[in-house]
Chain A
Amino acid sequence: MSSETAAGARDAAPPRPRWQVLLIRPESMTFVLLVLGIFAGSLLSPFFLDISYILRSFTLYAEFAIVALVLTMVIIAGEIDLSPAANMALAACLFAWAQASGVPMPLAIGIGLAAGLVMGAINGFFVIALQLPSIIVTIGTLTLYRGLAQVIAGDKSIRVPEWFIGIDKQMVLGVPLPVLLFVLLAIALGIVLSSTVFGRQIYQIGTNEVAARHAGIRSARIKLLLFLFIGVVAAIAGMMTASRLGSVRYDLGLGGELQMVLMAMLGGTYIFGGRGTILGTFLAAWLLVIVSTGMIVANVLPAVQLVVLGGLLIVSIVATNFIYSRTQR
């Protein structure tokens, strides 16, 4: 800023031009990376630009992506949940174990959903009623849920009935069902988060919980709802994974917490809460699929993919942090 404008700037800084506002939003960074990723991928392989190929690849990540959408809301509210991947495994194990021991399918699905709800409630109880930090609590429950899944399933895999297999092969309007579910959930949550009172309250809690409470926002109730919601969605994702794989093992979705957090962070969700959008996570999920399948197409070792994903997580939080520290909304 030049010196003659600095004198007048005492009252208020001039509003930034609209293009600048757009450019410094973290979602724009995600979008640019996505375009670059598609471009790089298409150089690697001619199959890459095939939309049905990308859609099919997306089914591999759709379960995590669906949970990541809800996780975005949890992080915006100033909390975090590292347990949904373990939650997916336990819910799927309970469901598969129930139906394998003769429980009718609808009831088995109900058991899986109820398990997700209970796990969300346990997280919520520790975080909200006991006021413990969610990161440590969910490290504990992550170990617990994964461990319980191992208790139930042992080291064996539990088969699910033939007709239950293949949700990822179900096509609706030419789009695999999990992808469609992801898109629909993204639209619904995007509207809730950006255009409803409830959604705005989530941002307020994340920005300043004490102030939000003084403003009459029931933060405890909203946070509990979010934990319950992510619990149920994780359970659904777990059963979707069971349907895609055809059998359930305790290590279902292992390491998924990294991918979920990565999708949220890469989409510009601020780790300290209060900022972020569903659109960002939506774009980041696609970016992650492009990067992962790009690496598979390029015959990159799975180990290198681990390195890339871990590195990507760190780069994305550094970048998001940088952007937010430079721009006060």
Chain B
Amino acid sequence: MTLLASLLRRREAGIAVMIVLFCLAVGAVKPQFLSLDQLRIILLLTPLIMIAAMGQMMVIVARHVDLSIGSTLGFSAMVSGLLYRFVEGEPWWVGVPLSVAVGAVLGLVNGLLVQLFRLPAIIVTLGTLSLYRGLTFIISNAKQIDRQWIPSELKGLSQTSPILGIPWIIFIAFGVALLTHYFLNHTRIGRQVYAVGSNPVAAPLRGIDVTQVTLLVFTISGALAGLAGILYASRWGFVNPSNTGSGFEFQVIAAVVIGGVSINGGVGTVLGTVLGVLLLGCVAAALPLLGIPGTSQAAIYGAVILVALLIDRTVRRQGIAQLRRTG
């Protein structure tokens, strides 16, 4: 009960406790899990998910969901990959703003469809999920962007390190998380995201432009998926039209939901989401160590989403009960 009580007060504390307990449990079976080396492996598993999770979190806080981010990631990575392949001598960093911009446009399209036609985001983005994936095939002519086309400086982002042997992409991911935290908590429109999510009917009465907020969260989500796309090319060194980013949305949604972002909108913090991503990273890192085949990863993610939903509901119920008692 004390654990539940602390969960109630600070959801993030609960997730942190879960991470520690999980690591200790795995460490009890396989002591090498509790090493600095392993920490590096866990950290390297997380940056792409963390970046996309920041956008997804904003979308979910605003009471929508973006299923298309996996395809957005693939499409933006492919656009940059084609640029590297077919345009000679452009600087390597051009791909970064390009991917982000392409992702932002795809996100904006989602937002426009959702907001202008008053459609449920889940169905719209299920449509754009396959739409964007198909477009990726078309622009790439169904051909993979191979290792030799990706500039080595770009690949260096996930190999070289500015400090402590920690690669650049991890710093980028945490930088994005910090910016998101600042945006959501210290800007006017950031607070409005919460207002829209907790009560979309009341928000316009308080002078909040719901259309603007909706378009913004979808655009940011797309842009961050685009950033994750170019970093995918950096991390793995190739872009494939069929598997780059496919299924990515489920991992990201799993991380966000574990992180305590309520699917009913209005609730969620960056810290919680970061912890959710880390927990997912710990699970992913523990599987091979425990001898569990990679084929069971998807099942575990699915189970994790359901468990997180259960926790979310329990916490919400308890929270409401507490509100009733005190107020």
B133 touches which one: A80, A136, A306, A308 (CB < 8 A)?
A: A306
Complex alpha-carbon distance, A126 and B310, angstroms? 8
CB B154 to nearest CB in A, in angstroms, measures: 26
Interface residues on B, range: 35 or more
CB B307 to nearest CB in A, in angstroms, measures: 9
Q: Which residues in window 253-295 of A have CB below 8 A to B?
A: 255, 257-258, 261, 265, 271-272
Instruction: Tell me if A1 counts as interface (CB < 8 A to partner B).
Output: no
CB B255 to nearest CB in A, in angstroms, measures: 12
> Main secondary structure on chain B at its contact with chain A?
helix
Complex alpha-carbon distance, A146 and B65, angstroms? 21
Residue contact B138 to A151, C-beta cutoff 8 Å: no
Complex alpha-carbon distance, A132 and B308, angstroms? 12
Segment of B27-35, B111-119, B266-274 in the binding face: B111-119
Which residue from chain A places its CB closest to the CB of B119 in the assembled complex?
Answer: A317
Which residue from chain B places its CB closest to the CB of A313 in the assembled complex?
Answer: B127
Q: Known: A143-B305, A147-B297, A306-B133. Contact between A314 and B138, CB under 8 A?
A: no
Instruction: Tell me if B120 counts as interface (CB < 8 A to partner A).
Output: yes
Which residue from chain B places its CB closest to the CB of A154 in the assembled complex?
Answer: B295
Which residue from chain B places its CB closest to the CB of A303 in the assembled complex?
Answer: B137
Residue contact B126 to A313, C-beta cutoff 8 Å: yes
Complex alpha-carbon distance, A136 and B257, angstroms? 10
Instruction: Tell me if B135 counts as interface (CB < 8 A to partner A).
Output: yes
Interface residues on A, range: 35 or more
Which residue from chain A places its CB closest to the CB of B293 in the assembled complex?
Answer: A154
CB A133 to nearest CB in B, in angstroms, measures: 6
B178: chain A residues within 8 A (beta carbon): none
Residue contact B302 to A310, C-beta cutoff 8 Å: no
Complex alpha-carbon distance, A203 and B295, angstroms? 41
Known contacts A136-B253, A151-B296, A271-B123, then 9 further A-B pairs from the complex at CB < 8 Å, ordered by chain A residue = A136-B257, A141-B306, A271-B119, A271-B120, A303-B134, A304-B134, A307-B135, A317-B124, A318-B119
Q: Known: A126-B306, A304-B138, A313-B126. Contact between A318 and B295, CB under 8 A?
A: no
Complex alpha-carbon distance, A317 and B118, angstroms? 10
A132: chain B residues within 8 A (beta carbon): 263, 309, 313
Residue contact A133 to B263, C-beta cutoff 8 Å: yes
Instruction: Tell me if A21 counts as interface (CB < 8 A to partner B).
Output: no
Give 4 closest A-B pairs by Cβ, nearest first.
Answer: A144-B302, A147-B299, A303-B137, A306-B134
Instruction: Tell me if B320 counts as interface (CB < 8 A to partner A).
Output: no
Instruction: Tell me if A130 counts as interface (CB < 8 A to partner B).
Output: yes
Residue contact A131 to B131, C-beta cutoff 8 Å: no
Instruction: Tell me if B301 counts as interface (CB < 8 A to partner A).
Output: yes
A314: chain B residues within 8 A (beta carbon): 113, 124, 127-128, 131
A48: chain B residues within 8 A (beta carbon): none
Instruction: Tell me if B303 counts as interface (CB < 8 A to partner A).
Output: yes
Which residue from chain A places its CB closest to the CB of B116 in the assembled complex?
Answer: A318
B254: chain A residues within 8 A (beta carbon): 140, 143
Complex alpha-carbon distance, A327 and B67, angstroms? 30
